[in-house]
Structure 1
Amino acid sequence: MSHLDAFSTKGVSNQVNEDFYIFTMTETKVRQQYDKLAAIYDQRWNSYVANTLSFLKDWVQISPSTTVLDVACGTGEFERLLLTENPTQRITGVDISEKMLLVAQQKLQAYPHVSFHTASASTLPFENNSFDVVVSANSFHYFDDPNAALIEMKRVLKPDGKVIILDWCKDYLLCRLCDFILKLVDPAYKQCYSQFEFHNLLKSAQFDIERATKFHFGVVWGMMVATATPQP
């Protein structure tokens, strides 16, 4: 695969979007892995996705007039949850897996205010100050360069906007064990972070943390979430 790739996607608004992006070696592995999983992802991870994204939707409390960017949107389940309540919500999703995006597009083709783009979290194809809210769920542990991703999120966020990130938390014992094992067996995996490490990454990217928490569900999953605002 060349370092520079181009892919045309047909958004659910019936507009064709051509996004040019650069993938790192790690991102290429993530892309290949999730392209293979796309057809079965929603069924395989149904309980995990439903629990985490329902929590995120309630945590964010997005108003109908808010413009939303979902970074690493996968199969569009967060979009589906928002649109069930607010069918005219303006949402943009990005992901590096073309096949995950195809699932999202098919799922949400009835909604004209949703669009999807193939893009890396570190190279978002949008102008400065484009979105009221940027969310990212269950993907931060795959980001090859989390600082670059956070800086990009800050760039496309409006000055009074918010970024909300939900991900695994290494403060929990089983998450530490998963982190150790995945580093050995999964070439696409990067790492998960403790809440302290995660907050330091946000602060280094010049975000102020507005609110944050940790929570646990099921036997394995220890999670953390933070809402942050760009520093002046």
Structure 2
Amino acid sequence: MTETKVRQQYNQMAATYDQRWSSYVSSTLLFLQSWADISPTATVLDVACGTGEFERLLLADNSQQKIVGVDISEKMLAIAREKCHVPNVSFYTAPASALPFADNSFDAIVCASSFHYFDKPNTALLEMKRVLKPHGRVVILDWCKDYLLCRICDWVLPIFDSAYKQCYTQAEFHSLLTSAGYKISRTTKVRFGVVWGLMVATASVEPSE
């Protein structure tokens, strides 16, 4: 299973992840924080939260922000808990396709640089929709296949990385969101350095007829 491979891979790299990917993580998550513009009173869910860097950024601005992070790597989460040892932040071991929360639990949901590993992207989007409060927002930042070097990565990575699933063009990504019942309110593509071309979208749930 892809999920098992991803867990094993990130458990192995957890101890060196922050140092190895410091520049990428810092630049992309600072961008995400600015883009998402999360209310200080919002209850936030971070899907595939990794080592808790986004939680750390939010807490630096608002030490009382209520945040829940989920990830399938226990060792990544152990590092996240060390960084964010405060009562208003909690972490759970869970996949994006089976979130262990009640319906309508979160005001804002974020997911950064993880969508290309999701074995069941449609299920993950439906799960995020289920736990999102009415009028809440989902913000997803991920690699964009519209960029040449990301297309090359998409071709090459499966050879070396058995956990990798695929990245999407912006049009494909938007189609996944709308098919899952989201209304996209804001979106763009953005480049980080020479290699990394990403896309971000803010979406909400379409109101019931």
Q: TM-score, normalised by structure 2?
A: 0.98
From the two aligned structures, give the one with the greater helix fraction: 2
Alpha-carbon distance in 2 for matches of 1:108, 1:161: 24
Q: Out of 87, 103, 108, which is 1:128 matched to? A: 103
Gaps of 5+ in 1: 1-24
Q: Displaced runs of 4+ in structure 1, greater than 2 A?
A: none
Alpha-carbon distance in 1 for matches of 2:83, 2:134: 32
Q: Out of 87, 94, 99, which is 1:112 matched to? A: 87
Structure 1 residue 82: Cα displacement: 0.3
Alpha-carbon distance in 1 for matches of 2:13, 2:89: 23
1:38 aligns to what SS in structure 2? Answer: helix
Q: Deviations over 1:65-85 (max 9, x none)?
A: 000000000000000000000
Alpha-carbon distance in 1 for matches of 2:69, 2:160: 29
Structure 1 residue 186 corresponds to structure 2 residue 161: yes
Structure 1 residue 131: Cα displacement: 0.2
For residues 43-58 of structure 1, what are the structure 2 equivalents within 5 Å?
A: 43-58=19-34
Q: Out of 56, 61, 65, which is 1:85 matched to? A: 61
% identity of equivalent residues:
69
Structure 1 residue 173: Cα displacement: 0.2
Instruction: Give the corresponding residue for 2:39.
Output: 63
Structure 1 residue 198: Cα displacement: 0.1
Structure 1 residue 95 corresponds to structure 2 residue 95: no
Alpha-carbon distance in 2 for matches of 1:96, 1:217: 26
For residues 160-171 of structure 1, what are the structure 2 equivalents within 5 Å?
A: 160-171=135-146
What is the count of residue pairs matched by the alignment?
207
Alpha-carbon distance in 2 for matches of 1:206, 1:53: 26
Structure 1 residue 90: Cα displacement: 0.1
Gaps of 5+ in 2: none
Alpha-carbon distance in 1 for matches of 2:191, 2:98: 32
Q: TM-score, normalised by structure 1?
A: 0.89
Alpha-carbon distance in 1 for matches of 2:27, 2:89: 23
